[in-house]
Structure 1
Amino acid sequence: MADDAHSIEVLNTTAQGQLKAILERIERLEEDKAAVMADLKEVYAEAKGNGFDTKIIRKVVRIRKTDRAKRQEEEALIDLYMSAIGEV
């Protein structure tokens, strides 16, 4: 028991500052994330107000994040599968 109490005490004294700093960084990043999400919502609302389909815009954004070669490979497989089931 004495070793456990000592371990907790050592952990508290050596890690307390680090833990607090990590938690504060996470909290700041969460605030930043919330602000970015609000900005994104605003931009999508603007796009919708200008007559754009936001569902398609989201897909285009997702596609643009994908490596071109990987994207082409996926598109080729989709075409192959669609052809195999008679949908193309």
Structure 2
Amino acid sequence: MADTGGVAADQLRAFVERIERLEEEKKAISDDIKDVYGEAKGTGFDVKILRQVVRLRKQEPHEREEQEAILDLYMHALGMAAQSGGDEV
């Protein structure tokens, strides 16, 4: 292994090449995900909501419940929450 100025050049090159390969794979996977969202949109699904569902499924149930409770609290405070109670027929 060549040692240039205290840097192991072969080891450094290996790390850089691995990172570059992984970046290429990441780009390919990102393109694949974009294609799937495009397919979903083409069949009538709302992609914005679909992305939100995917994000929510990554969360632990207790985290999701906590966020929903805080969102509900904020919406009530701003008068944005659906009214419940005696107005239903």
Q: Hey, which of these two has a bigger chunk of helix by percent?
A: 1
Moved runs in structure 1, 4+ residues, more than 3 A?
none
- Gaps of at least 5 residues in structure 1 are 1-7
Determine the structure 2 residue equivalent to 1:11.
Answer: 6
TM-score, scaled to structure 1: 0.81
Q: Hey, which of these two has a bigger chunk of strand by percent?
A: 2
CA distance in 1 between partners of 2:79 and 2:5 (Å): 68
CA distance in 2 between partners of 1:28 and 1:56 (Å): 32
Q: Deviations over 1:48-85 (max 9, x none)?
A: 11111111111111111111101101101111121122
CA distance in 1 between partners of 2:59 and 2:39 (Å): 25
TM-score, scaled to structure 2: 0.80
**1:10 shift after superposition:** 4.6
- Gaps of at least 5 residues in structure 2 are 82-89
Sequence identity (%) = 54
Determine the structure 1 residue equivalent to 2:55.
Answer: 62
Q: How many residues in Structure 1 have an aligned counterpart in Structure 2?
A: 79
| Structure-to-structure mapping, 1:8-87, within 5 angstroms | 9-12=4-7, 15-87=8-80
Distance verdict in 2 for CA 1:9–1:20, change over 3 Å: closer
